[in-house]
Amino acid sequence: MSASFESAKELREVIDKIFSMMDADPDMGPKLRDADTPQRFEFSDFDAVVNIRATRGDEAGNLYWEWSDDVDWDSKVQMTMSSEVANRYFQGKENVPMAVARRRIKTGGDLKAALALIPITKPIYDQYRDYVEREKPHLKV
Amino acid sequence: MTLTEVARSLDISPATLRRWVAEGIVPLRDGEWTPAALAQARLVARLRARGHSLEQVRVAAKQGRLAFGYLEDLFPEAEVEYGLADAARETGLEPELIRRIWSAAGFSAESLEHLGEDDLQLLQRLGAVLDAGLPLVAFLQLVRVYGQALAQIADAEVKLFHLYVHEPMIRDGAPVLDIAEELSDLASELLPLAGPIMDFVHQRTLQHFLAQDVVGHLELVADDAELGRVRVAIAFADLAGYTRLTEEVGEEEALEVVERFVDVVGETLPDTARVIKTIGDEVMVVGTDAAALADWAVGLVALSTERPLPRIGVHVGSALYRDGDYYGRAVNLAARVGARATGGEVLVTREVRDAAGKNLLFQPIGEVKLKGFGEATELFLAGVR
C-alpha cells in the first residue's frame, strides 16, 4: 500500500515542515547553509516546484525557499520525483542512486554537490519519520 | 502471555496471529507461547511488514528458516538515555569530534541521538586513546579499521552460524521449535566467548606484526575440501585516472578524492550490499541482490559527472566464503570486468544482465578476453533505459 499525499496543499504543508526542520536543526541547518547548494525540487504528480537555497547576508535562519520557479537565483541541483517518492526519500526509504537507475528520481545539475548533501541531510529521516508518526500517519512507509 | 497480548505487542490483529498459529507458521509448544514461538511471531510480523508474501513466509517458517529470530533475545534492548550533547558533556569530547569518530566507526549519525551507557563508555575509552597522544589523523583511521574489521567479524559470525549450524538442521528436517531452541542454546554459550577470544587473537596478532614490523601479503593455501559457498553479486568500483590525478594534484588531494569516493559508496549502497574491503581507490562490494547492485552501480555512475569518474564491474556467481572474505573465480572475474571498464562505465556479465530489472539497458560489447581467463567473457555496458 503506497502512502500518498491527499492534496497539493498537504504536500506543500509537509515539505514546508521538512525544510523548516532542516533549517532549525543545529547540525543540518548550518551545514546546508555552508554547502550553499541551491536545489530545485519538482513534484511531478502535483505539478509543484519548490526552490531552496542558503540564506543570504542578514536573512534569518539557514535556508530560504519559495514554491515557484520565479526566483532570483539559479538552482545548482535539480531533482524531479513524484510526491510518493519524495515522501519515501525524506523518510530514508529511497536509495538515491537506485532511484535514479529506476527513473524514480530524475536529476540534473551539479550531481557531485547532490551526492555531498546525502550524508548532511540524513538526520532528517528520523525527524520526518517522527513527524509522520505523530501528525501524518497515512504517510508512513 | 495470551494470543491477544502477543498480537498487541507485535502491532497486529489477534485474528492474523491466530491464522499464523493455525497454519503452523508460528508453531506453539503444547499450545504455549514459549520464547522461541514469540521470536518466530516477531520475525514473521517483521517479514510481512517488509512486504514478503504470506506464501514466502509460510515456506520459510515451515522449513525452520526463521528459527534464528530467537537469537535476537540474547541482546537485551539497551536503555537509551543520551543524545549527542549529553555524550559531549559526559566525555569532554567536542560534538563534531564525536560525530567524526562515530562515522569512522561505521555507525549511523542518527544513532548519536539514541545512545546508551555502553556507547558512552565506548566514547570515553576512545577519548582516552586520544588523550594518550595518538594523533587525530591516525586515530580516525584506526577507528575506521576497527569499525570495518568488526563489522566483517559480526557478519562472518552470523553467516558461518547460518551456513554450518542452521542450514544443516534445516536439511535434517528437525522440528522448527527444536531448531530455534538448539540454536539459541548454542549461541548463548558462544556469545560470551567472542569478546575474550577476539581480545586474545588481537594481542597475539599485534605481537606478531610488531615483531615482524612488516605487513605481508597473506597467501591463501588452496583447499579441496567441501566448504561453504554463497551465491553473491560482486562489484568492483574504482576511480578511472586516479594515478594521473595523483600526479596532477598530489597525493594528499588525490587521497581526499578517494576517501570521498569510498564514503559515497558506503553511504549509498543498497541495504542488501556492503563494502568488503578497499584497496587503494578500489572498493569491493558484495551483495545478495544482483538487480539492486546493478541499479546502484548504474545510478552512482549516472550521478558522477566530474573527473575522476568511477568505473564499476559487476558479476554474480558462486563465491567461496572464508575468513570473512569472498574468494574464487567469480570474485576474480568481477575484478577483471571492473578493470575493463573506462571512467563513467558500468560493465556487467550476462549473469547480471539476466538478473537485472527492465529499468536498465544493456548494450552488448561482445566476448572479451579478460586477463587470466582462458575463455572469453560476454560483457554488456549497463545504463539507464
Three-class SS of chain B:
CCHHHHHHHHCCCHHHHHHHHHCCCCCCECCECCHHHHHHHHHHHHHHHCCCCHHHHHHHHHCCCCHHHHHHHHCCCCCCCECHHHHHHHHCCCHHHHHHHHHHHCCCHHHHHCECHHHHHHHHHHHHHHHCCCCHHHHHHHHHHHHHHHHHHHHHHHHHHHHHHHHHHHHCCCCHHHHHHHHHHHHHHHHHHHHHHHHHHHHHHHHHHHHHCCCCCCCCCCCCCCCCEEEEEEEEEEECCHHHHHHHHCHHHHHHHHHHHHHHHHHHCCCCEEEEEEECCEEEEEECCHHHHHHHHHHHHHHCCCCCCEEEEEEEEEEEEECCEEECHHHHHHHHHHHHCCCCCEEEEHHHHHHCCCCEEEEEEEEECCCCCCCCEEEEEEEEC
Q: What is the reported pLDDT for B155?
A: 85
Q: What does A25-59 look like in DSSP terms, one character per residue?
A: -TTHHHHHHHHT--EEEEEGGGTEEEEEEE--TT-
Cell reading at B254: 588525490
DSSP A69: S
Q: What is the reported pLDDT for B64?
A: 76
Assign A1 to helix, strand or coil.
Answer: coil
A8-133: what CATH class?
A: alpha beta
Q: What is the reported pLDDT for B229?
A: 80
Q: What is the reported pLDDT for B226?
A: 42
Cell reading at B152: 566483517
The minimal CB distance from A111 to the residues B267, B292, B305 is found for B305
Residue A63: beta bridge partners? A54
Q: Tell me: ipTM over 0.95.
A: no
Whether B328 contacts B320, CB under 8 Å: yes
The minimal CB distance from B303 to the residues A27, A114, A125 is found for A114
CATH number, span B229-384: 3.30.70.1230
Domain ranges of chain A: 8-133
- From chain A, pick out residues whose CB is under 8 angstroms from the CB of B295: 97-98, 101-102
- What is the distance between the alpha carbons of residues B37 and B35, in angstroms, rounded to a whole number? 5
- What is the distance between the alpha carbons of residues A58 and A63, in angstroms, rounded to a whole number? 12
Q: What is the reported pLDDT for B294?
A: 97
Domain ranges of chain B: 3-62, 229-384
Q: How many residues does chain A have?
A: 141
C-alpha to C-alpha distances, A2 to A10, A101, B26, B51, B322, nearest whole angstrom: 16, 20, 28, 12, 41
Q: What is the reported pLDDT for B213?
A: 42
> Residue B153 corresponds to which amino acid?
I
The minimal CB distance from A98 to the residues B113, B270, B305 is found for B270
Whether B276 contacts B322, CB under 8 Å: no
Q: Is A115 on the interface with B (CB under 8 A)?
A: yes
Cα B306 from chain centre? 29
Chains A–B, number of C-beta pairs less than 8 Å apart: 77
Question: Which stretches of chain B drop beneath a pLDDT of 50?
Answer: 213-226
Cα A109 from chain centre? 16
> Residue B234 corresponds to which amino acid?
I
- What is the distance between the alpha carbons of residues B317 and B335, in angstroms, rounded to a whole number? 13
Interface test with B, best of A102, A104, A118, A141 (most B CBs within 10 A): A102
Q: Is A127 on the interface with B (CB under 8 A)?
A: no
- What is the distance between the alpha carbons of residues B108 and B235, in angstroms, rounded to a whole number? 23
DSSP A20: H
DSSP A68: S
Residue B378: beta bridge partners? B367
How do strand B229-239 and strand B273-279 relate by DSSP bridges?
A: unpaired
Q: What is the reported pLDDT for A37?
A: 93
Q: What is the reported pLDDT for B78?
A: 67
B51-58 long-range Cβ contacts below 8 angstroms, 24+ apart? B54/B25, B57/B25, B58/B23, B58/B25
Cβ of A113: how many Cβ atoms within 10 Å?
Answer: 17
User: CA B152, B110, A36: angle at the middle one, nearest 5?
Assistant: 110
- From chain A, pick out residues whose CB is under 8 angstroms from the CB of B99: 27
Residue B27: exposure state from Cβ atoms within 10 A (0-12, 13-18, ≥19): buried
Cell reading at B24: 503452523
Verify whether the Cβ–Cβ distance B268 to A95 is below 8 Å. yes
The minimal CB distance from B110 to the residues A107, A116, A126 is found for A126
Phi, psi angles (nearest 5°) of residue B103: -65, -40
Q: What is the reported pLDDT for B224?
A: 39
**Peptide bond connecting B175 to the previous residue in cis, omega within 30 degrees of 0:** no
Q: What is the pLDDT along chain A (141 residues), one digit of tens a residue?
A: 567 899 999 999 999 999 999 999 999 999 999 999 999 999 999 999 999 999 998 899 999 999 999 999 999 999 999 999 999 999 999 999 999 999 999 988 888 888 888 888 989 999 999 999 999 999 998
C-alpha to C-alpha distances, B119 to A126, B100, B112, B195, B217, nearest whole angstrom: 19, 15, 9, 16, 35
Compare all CA atoms of chain B with the CA of A124 and give the residue at the minimum distance: B110
